[in-house]
């Protein structure tokens, strides 16, 4: 099933028994609204962090959605599929999405990942033992 057919089923061909008729827009208006909401060039990491935290931690529903997304991204289980390297790589791709979401929620970027990290002058040499 293609992505477009899934979008069509979700947004265009609604079931009469749908408890929320008209809640979801058609795919064209959905993509137009997403494009209009897209952040500009001056959208900083701090802006992203604030937005993610407001949406995902602002309500109990947001926390439940975050848990579901992280579960879908295989963060709570192994991604290894015995005998199937392609499935393992597929799950690792999903895990990458979950890790990116967690990184966007982190209070700040760890110094190890920034240019401001110290140069390691205090770190012992590889061959040294304490």
> 81 or 18: which carries more pLDDT confidence?
81
C-alpha pair distances (Å), 122 with each of 10, 67, 83: 57, 39, 44
> 130 or 8: which carries more pLDDT confidence?
8
Query: Among 69, 78, 77, which residue's Cα sits nearest to residue 101?
Result: 69
- Average model confidence (pLDDT) across the chain: 77
* 79 pLDDT above the threshold of 80: yes
* 90 pLDDT above the threshold of 80: yes
pLDDT attached to residue 31: 76
* pTM greater than the 0.85 cutoff: no
């Amino acid at each position: 099933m293609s992505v477009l057919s899934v979008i069509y089923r979700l947004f265009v061909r609604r079931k009469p028994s749908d408890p929320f008729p008209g809640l979801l827009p058609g795919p064209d208006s959905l993509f137009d609204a997403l494009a209009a909401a897209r952040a500009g060039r001056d959208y900083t990491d701090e802006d992203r962090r604030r937005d993610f935290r407001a949406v995902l931690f602002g309500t109990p529903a947001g926390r439940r959605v975050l848990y579901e997304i992280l579960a879908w991204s295989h963060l709570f289980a192994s991604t290894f599929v015995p005998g199937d390297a392609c499935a393992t790589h597929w799950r690792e791709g999903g895990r990458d999405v979950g890790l990116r979401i967690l990184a966007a929620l982190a209070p700040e970027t760890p110094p190890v990942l920034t240019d401001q990290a110290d140069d390691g002058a205090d770190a012992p040499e590889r061959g040294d033992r304490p």
